Structure 1
Amino acid sequence: MLCSKQLLFLLVACFFSAITALSISPGSTLYASDTNQTWPSPSNVFSLRFLPSQTPPTSPPSFIAAVVFSGGTPVVWSAGNGVIVDSHGSLQFLSSGVLRLVNGSGVAVWDSGTSNLGVSSASVNDDGNLILSNRTGVVWSSFDYPTDTIVPSQNFTTGMFLRSGEYSFTVTSSGNLTLRWNDSVPYWDRGLNSSINVNLTSPVLELQSIGILRLFDPNLVTPVDIAYSSDYAEANGTLRILKLDSDGNLRMYSSSRGSGISTVRWIAVEDQCKVFGYCGNYGVCSYKDLSPICGCPSENFEMIDPNDSRKGCKGKVRLEDCPGRAAMLQLDHALVLTYPPIFMVNPEVFFVGISACRGNCLAAGSCFASTSLSDGTGLCYIKTSSFISTYHNPELPSTSYVKVCGPVAPNPPPRLEEAGKGKDWEIHAWIISLAVLGTLLALIVFEGGLLLWCCRRGSRFRGFSTQYALLEYASGAPVQFSYKELQRSTKGFKEKLGDGGFGAVYRGILANRTVIAVKQLEGIEQGEKQFRMEVATISSTHHLNLVRLIGFCSEGKHRLLVYEFMKNGSLDNSLFVNESQSEKLLNWEYRFRIALGTARGITYLHEECRNCIVHCDIKPENILLDEHYNARVSDFGLAKLTSAPDHRNRSLTSVRGTRGYLAPEWLANLPATSKSDVYSFGMVLLEIVSGRRNFEISEGTKWKKFSIWAYEEFQKGNMKGILDKRLVNHEVDMEGVKRAIMVSFWCIQEQPYQRPIMSKVVQMLEGVTQIEMPPAPKCVTEGSVIANPTTAEEAPLFASSSSSQIV
């Protein structure tokens, strides 16, 4: 008994000594000269330390005291929002309970303001929160004084600000997220959905650890999701932060522990040039190779700092010192940034023509610039603030005017040749012209001869071209077919194999007797170049369980894809057969092999090919069967072809899908990820086991959606009740059936992070990985049961009306 008490005492003593070791006692000091010295969190996930204020370090070096993630990146909080000290500076935890940042000269440049509060300890928590505590609890927290970053579990409320230079971010009392320049110009605003008509009382913004930016309020029935990181619900152990960068943009980053690397996963202002003041006063923002660059409006201006173009420009002669008359500098395809809150307070927008827009500003002493829109609205923006932020883009339908001291000196056009080479060009111009004309003439003669030769040989040449094309296909390159050739191969598109979500599919035969499947694409918004790039990506994707793309056609409005032909058609034709088609019935061995092959094909798309491909439409119709009944996934990569291209950001929030297979996040119009495909596969897997549609409702399922009823039967241990009744007289591996059913329920979990990745699905189906008991889908726990219809004929009506609640 005595030994037990002594052991307990030792354990308690060790526990409290461990806590004390992690606590920071008054009198402790961090020195800027030693960047390896840290005050760590219990699990060493975060630490308080000194870091060089810039990368590469300045000379002489300067430092900031900051809480950083494992590996030194990212910084989640800094003392005084990045106040710098020299190498002799220090961060002192004084006996008075104050945390103080001191420069090398001994001058305090920041402190926590916690004197006389009885502070006895400081610590860094594993969530990144730096706290000061007394005997009763926490009296100061870095989470209450954010700098430029929010981390998961940190509540960001009204009255709090993120700041970076002249930029700030806040949440208004109405729940709007707002970015401002100089605390006066709001240039980005993200509010609640218009369908949410609620008066908020105390909105709180929180970044979820899985990468969702979410707004809470007591008056909201459910929290509102504001934004998603592109990797949300993926990569466990990843830190996600929301950071206001020095360029005025709000971004969400992901960082793996110990990597020291942060990756952008979401950005508030997609067009960086629309960030007010990005290029400083009178600076003009434009793009070069997709990167924003800053310049001056004309040679009437000069850069304030030639080494930093973002500091803006100044007039070589100030308007108030102008000896002559002021003039208006014209900037084509330019927009002087003005935001609605400005001209709502001081009306600065008029309905006038372009000449009046220019003339009115020139005549008004309070006007410094104006913009006339050429988009049919007739709007003219007058800028009365002396801070001018301009955006230039060749696609902008606007003309801007900036008041300068005349005469106007426009910027010279870009030079096409290097200095000193103009004279050589003039001397040899006639030689180059002669060479170009000669080359063109030779090409014309060659093309004419080739055309004549082709016309004389007709069908022989067409056969030869097809043979050559197939040799090109054998080498792995996508073959380009003419529309007439495919029209001829399909006999005028007569033999239709089926209709898919992306267009009809026809059977065809090439000149060398190769059987093909030709898909006529519909709703293609891609340009020629982008279409060819996507086709190249699809054709470079090779796997035993994927349908191979042979070639394509792109002529005018015609967009067609040519695939290898699958003899046994799509899975639905063999899975959902009636009793009169019993010869087509798939036995369990074939079904399990098809399920496993499909899972392997999707795994390759998600995890093994060069770029992750989210299919977006996994269903039995897109699972084809070859002559040996091997599963081949089709239509992968087509979602990108039917979504509008954006050279800066692309998301899959409006892709096509099929009722019954859509993941819950799609039904809520949220971004689709590879986990959305996992959900669709889970529904298909349940159909493979049961031989019936997942949304089927009948008396046999007690008028419940089949997947809901199946889970209830699974809980009872009734696996044979879920299995296709037509297999009752066949030899069936019930252990494999149980494994497939459990995997399907894991795949159709409502939350994406609860679903396994596809490689894990393959392992579970193979029996390599033990399968835990799957939790009930949310709709089951909430009792999503279809009301009992009075007759069986009414059931389909109930099914379609509930389709938006499918999980």
Structure 2
Amino acid sequence: MLCSKLLRFLLLSCFFFSSAITAFGISPGSTLFASDTSHAWPSPSNAFSLRFLPSQTPTTSPPSFIAAVVFSGGTPVIWSAGNSVSVDSRGSLQFLSSGVLRLVNGSGVTFWDSGTSNLGVSSASLNDDGNLILSNRTGVVWSSFDHPTDTIVPSQNFTTRMVLRSGAYSFRVTRLGNLTLGWNDSVPYWDRGLNSSVNVNLTSPVLGLQSIGILILSDPKLVTPLDIAYSSDYAEANGTLRILKLDSDGNLRMYSSSRGSGISTVRWAAVEDQCEVFGYCGNYGVCSYKDLKPICECPSENFEMIDPNDSRKGCRRKVRLEDCPGSASMLQLDHALVLTYPPVFMVNPEVFFVGISACRGNCLAAGSCVASTSLSDGTGLCYIRTSSFISTYHNPALPSTSYVKVCGPVAPNPPPSLEEAGKGKNWGIHAWIVVVVVLGTLLALIIFEGGLLLWCCKRDSRFRGFSTQYALLEYASGAPVQFSHKELQRATKGFKEKLGDGGFGAVYRGTLANRTVVAVKQLEGIEQGEKQFRMEVATISSTHHLNLVRLIGFCSEGKHRLLVYEFMKNGSLDKFLFVNEHQSEKLLNWEYRFRIALCTARGITYLHEECRNCIVHCDIKPENILLDENYNAKVSDFGLAKLTSATASDQRHQSLTSVRGTRGYLAPEWLANLPATCKSDVYSFGMVLLEIVSGRRNFEVSEGTKRTKFSMWAYEELLKGNIKGVLDRRLANHHEVDLEEVKRAIMVSFWCIQEQPLQRPTMSKVVQMLEGITEIEMPPSPKSVTEGYVIANSVVAGEAPFFSSSSTSQII
């Protein structure tokens, strides 16, 4: 009896003690010391803790520490006192009896405090959602969620009056609902807002991060929250913490961290090209890439690093402009641009329509100008820079030339090969001699062969009409050849041998006078004028890749608009996938199919991510995947969507507002009359990939698929592990089929056809997954396989559904 009473007393004591800990948490007078990083103030379930951590800044001597709220395992940091203000080893975090939470250095100097004196604060506590709160008798008077530093966590509301900061970078939500990243509170270099179809004035937008990995925007004017972004592991692993963090490099990223792991993994990033972050390499620093990683360098040897140990701190002139012993000069930087985002970051912005030499000369003559950029994209625009801060991006694909004013003489950086070789100027002289000799020899050969060709053409009447064009074709490094309509009539024998009908017009076989076999496409529905048509043709013809069908030439004569392509001997992929039992000679084995899928993915990747201007294909389907004599796949008809519909470009996320494609391959956002982006092509590729595996149309319905569409049935079979059931039954018994490759292809296809565009991988990621470089997780159910599905989930009352568009910032 006595034992039972004693036990009851102990249990009640434990209950009241735990209640006191939960209710009152940290008592006034408590202190955390920087020297004791093992001591912490935990949340009730130990999911989070407030403790000191070694500073993440470059190693200092003596070491420094920050007071931070961290997730289980010490990573990630979700809040820090003073936004990562560091103290020495004698520093401390004190909860004073006056109700103030204060961070002090070892010398006793206060580095940060909560500003809660005279508010009657009697307790502090750390909740299990990571919120550090200070309370008085009436309730909470201060919380870390209301004073974020550089991170947002689930259950935290981020309003328009809040800001995330990391160094010179900041993140805000505007009253219009736009998400913006800015540098130095003056240059907004990334902006994501509502789609133009969402015509509603928000009153008090709030950004939130759901625990399953969805970034949402809420407002009283919205019936349901708008989905802004998704983590790549969306809705997976219930014990995972997801955070939105503004990193010190100026990029906004979503991270996932499993409890106790101490590891955070990037799942989404706002700015895909890190070099497009303004000021990433500091003042006058030039951002470029090496081994896929951004690096920072100085423009030339006229500059030096401000800190040789940290290239991101920028560069400075070795000789200031005002100290020039002579006149200033202009340093030329090819394929480079000085980043500019609206509103233009210049004291006195000046824009001219002038040539390259005038763009250089005007800046040199203007005392206030420090740099200029001339665009070589056909606009003829020149931008004069008078700002004291210059952020430069270099990329071999950029169609621009920039000039930076320096004290002469100009001293360009030596080529990397020369720097590595360490040969110095002597090697440079020898290299120039070799270049001159080689160029001279090539020029002599070209003149000789050109003369011989002209002589032959003059003697043979059959070649007279083609001499100019074929000189271009053979010697102009891929420049598009202009044909007359009569010449193409003759080449195609009056357009008699039709190869097929595409979404953009009929295609005919033709033979040019030099016996080159070509495919001639008669375009229909052309809206552009002569000048615009020629510009688009020039863009298409300059897009060269092993897995893209090459454009040889064009015809623009009155109402006649034709394109001349290289001829693909084996025709389109559909003729080999969807064959009947009596056409077994056309059946492709698995090795060919997998290679075709991989080649197609590489071709689309080039269009999206590697060529000068992103090209959204808009009509990926087996009919537009052509095979050469060795069954190597090449994507055709790329760039034609811009020739036949109105477009709106947005840097590397060009979107098309007019639906033109093939039913069965259209992404759900197109069917909802929303803009199509690169992710729309990813959806179409996913549909094609599943057809390559199965050998039948995705929307085929049969008894074998339980009277449901094949794509829906195939996902159920994937969940069951029935890979052979999804594979083309004509290949199922072939021993050479690699079932691991088949499974990989099926899983990739279902990732590609996810309902939400942000859940779909990029095409470069698709290539990596197909190659087995990247591990593939089980894809969630692709609800959008039902064509006609409208993206719901984000609908404004009385308005069209929301679709997350890409950044609206511009790079000049």
TM-score, normalising length: structure 2 = 0.60
Partner SS, residue 215 of structure 1? strand
**1: CA distance between counterparts of 2:296 and 2:273?**
14
Q: Residues 7 and 625 of structure 1: is their aligned pair in 2 closer, same or farther, counting only changes over 3 Å?
A: farther
Report the counterpart of residue 16 of structure 1 in structure 2.
16
Matched ranges for 1:132-151 at <5 A: 132-151=134-153
1:207 to 194, 206, 209: 209
Secondary structure of 1:553 counterpart: coil
Q: Tell me, which stretches of 5 or more residues in structure 2 are unaligned? A: 435-567, 607-628, 637-684, 734-738, 764-775, 794-812
Change (3 A) 1:298 1:507: farther
**Paired residue secondary structure (2:332):** strand
What residue number does 1:354 align with?
Answer: 356
How far off is 1:56 after superposition? Answer: 7.5
Distance 1:228 1:515 in 2: 34
Residue 415 of structure 1 aligns to a residue whose secondary structure is helix
| CA shift for structure 1 position 189 | 0.7
2:261 paired residue number: 259
Matched-pair contact (CA < 8 Å) for 2:346–2:385 = no
Deviations 1:140-178 (A, max 9, x none): 100111101110111111121111111111111111111
For the 8 Å contact 1:328–1:408, the answer to whether it is kept is yes
1:93-492 → structure 2 map (5 Å cutoff)? 93-342=95-344, 346-416=348-418, 418-419=421-422
Task: Give the structure 1 partner of residue 468 of structure 2.
Answer: none
Question: Does the CA-based 8 Å contact 2:603-2:635 persist in structure 1?
Answer: no
- Residue 574 (1) aligns with residue 703 (2): yes
Within the candidate set 781, 806, 810, 1:677 is matched to: 781
Cα shift at 1:73: 0.2
Distance change (3 Å), C-alpha of 1:411 and 1:235:
same
Contact 1:516 1:565 in 2 (8 A): no
**Alpha-carbon shift at residue 47 of structure 1 (Å):** 0.2
- Indicate the residue corresponding to 1:70 in structure 2: 72
Unpaired segments of 5 or more residues in structure 1?
A: 431-486, 532-550, 578-585, 607-617, 656-671, 684-693, 696-704, 706-748, 752-807
Q: 1:344-372: per-residue Cα shift (whole Å, max 9, x none)?
A: 98533232222221122112112111111
Number of aligned residue pairs? 563
Measured in 2, the distance between the counterparts of 1:64 and 1:605 equals: 53
Q: Alpha-carbon deviation of 1:59?
A: 2.6
Q: Tell me which amino acid in the other structure corresponds to 1:299.
A: E
Aligned: 1:553 with 2:627: no
- Cα 1:358–1:62 change in 2 (3 A) is same
Supply the AA of the counterpart residue of 1:325.
Answer: S
Aligned to 2:745: 637
Q: 1:223 offset after TM fit, Å? A: 1.3
Q: Does 1:652 align with 2:760?
A: yes
Match of 1:39 in 2: 41
Q: Structure 1's 374 and 643: CA in aligned 2 closer, same or farther, altered over 3 A?
A: farther
**Separation (CA, whole Å) in 2 of partners of 1:142 and 1:314:** 39
Deviations 1:407-442 (A, max 9, x none): 21111122356347999x99xxx9xxxxxxxxxxxx
CA contact (8 A) 1:498 1:506 kept: no
Shift of 1:202: 0.9
**Cα deviations by residue, 1:186-239 (Å, 9 ceiling, x for unpaired):** 111111111111111111111111111111111122211111111111111110
CA RMSD between the two structures: 5.2
Paired amino acid for 1:58: T
Aligned-partner SS, 1:359:
helix
Kept in 2, the 8 Å contact 1:570–1:622? The answer is no
The 8 Å contact of residues 596 and 631 in structure 2, kept in 1 or not, is answered as no
Instruction: Give the deviation of 1:287 after TM superposition.
Output: 0.5
Q: Deviations over 1:93-150 (max 9, x none)?
A: 1111111111111111111111111111111101110000111110110011110111
Q: Residue 751 of structure 2 contacts residue 761 of structure 2 at CA under 8 Å; is this kept in 1?
A: no
The residue identity in structure 1 corresponding to 2:421 is: E
The aligned counterpart of 2:618 is none
The amino acid of 1:637's aligned partner reads A
1:729 is aligned to none
- Relative to structure 1, the CA distance from residue 493 to residue 237 in structure 2 (aligned partners, 3 Å threshold; closer, same or farther) is closer
Report deviation, 1:14: 3.7
Q: For the structure 1 residues 186 and 514, does the alpha-carbon distance in structure 2 shift closer, same or farther, using more than 3 Å as the test?
A: closer
Report how far residue 32 of structure 1 moved: 0.6
Per-residue CA deviation, residues 776-800 of structure 1 (Å, 9 max, x unaligned), is: xxxxxxxxxxxxxxxxxxxxxxxxx
Distance (whole Å) between structure 2 residues aligned to residue 563 and residue 366 of structure 1: 61
Q: Distance in 2 between matches of 1:389 and 1:508?
A: 60
Separation in structure 2 between the aligned mates of residue 171 and residue 512 of structure 1, nearest angstrom: 55
Determine the structure 2 residue equivalent to 1:785.
Answer: none
SS of the residue aligned with 1:101? strand
Distance 1:529 1:197 in 2: 34
What amino acid does structure 2 have at the position aligned with 1:124? L
Amino acid corresponding to residue 781 of structure 2 in structure 1 = D
- Structure-2 change in CA distance of 1:414 and 1:650 (3 Å): farther
User: Do 2:152 and 2:243's aligned partners in 1 also have CA atoms closer than 8 Å?
Assistant: yes
**Secondary structure of the corresponding residue to residue 341 of structure 1:** coil
Match of 1:158, SS? coil
Shift in CA distance, 302/528, structure 1 to aligned 2, threshold 3 Å: same
One-letter code of the match for 1:322?
C
Percent of pairs identical after alignment? 67
For residue 676 of structure 1, report the CA deviation from its aligned partner.
Answer: 4.2
- Judge conservation of contact 2:693–2:745 (CA < 8 Å) in 1: no
The whole-number CA distance in structure 1 between the counterparts of 2:363 and 2:581 is 63
**Matched letter for residue 341 of structure 1:** P
TM-score by length of 1: 0.60
Question: Which residue number in structure 2 is paired with residue 452 of structure 1?
Answer: none
**Residue 340 of structure 1: SS of its match in structure 2?**
coil
8 Å contact from structure 1 (residues 517, 563) kept in 2: no
1:563 Cα deviation from its structure 2 partner: 8.3
CA distance in 1, matches of 2:349, 2:699: 63
Instruction: Give the residue type in structure 1 aligned to 2:703.
Output: S
Q: Which has the higher contact order (CA 8 A, sep 6+)?
A: 2
Structure 1 residues 506 and 362 mapped into 2: Cα distance closer, same or farther (>3 Å)?
farther
Q: 1:601: Cα distance to partner?
A: 3.8
Which whole-Å deviations, capped at 9, do the CAs of 1:31-53 have from their partners, x for residues lacking one? 11110000000110000000000
- Alignment correspondent of 1:767: none
Taking the aligned partners of 2:303 and 2:574, their CA distance within structure 1 comes to 69
- Over 3 Å counting, the alpha-carbon distance change for 1:564 and 1:226 in structure 2 is closer
- What per-residue deviation string (whole Å, max 9, x for no partner) do you get for residues 697-730 of structure 1? xxxxxxxx9xxxxxxxxxxxxxxxxxxxxxxxxx
Question: Once the 2 structures are TM-superposed, how far is the Cα of residue 255 of structure 1 from its aligned partner?
Answer: 0.5
Q: Secondary structure at the match of 2:322?
A: helix
Shift of 1:553: 2.5
Structure label with greater radius of gyration: 1
Q: Residues of 2 paired with 1:304 and 1:249: CA distance?
A: 23
Distance 2:272 2:574 in 1: 46
Does structure 1 retain, via aligned residues, the 8 Å contact 2:705–2:713?
Answer: no
Distance (whole Å) between structure 2 residues aligned to residue 552 and residue 642 of structure 1: 29
Deviation of residue 242 (structure 1)? 0.5
CA distance in 1, matches of 2:588, 2:190: 60
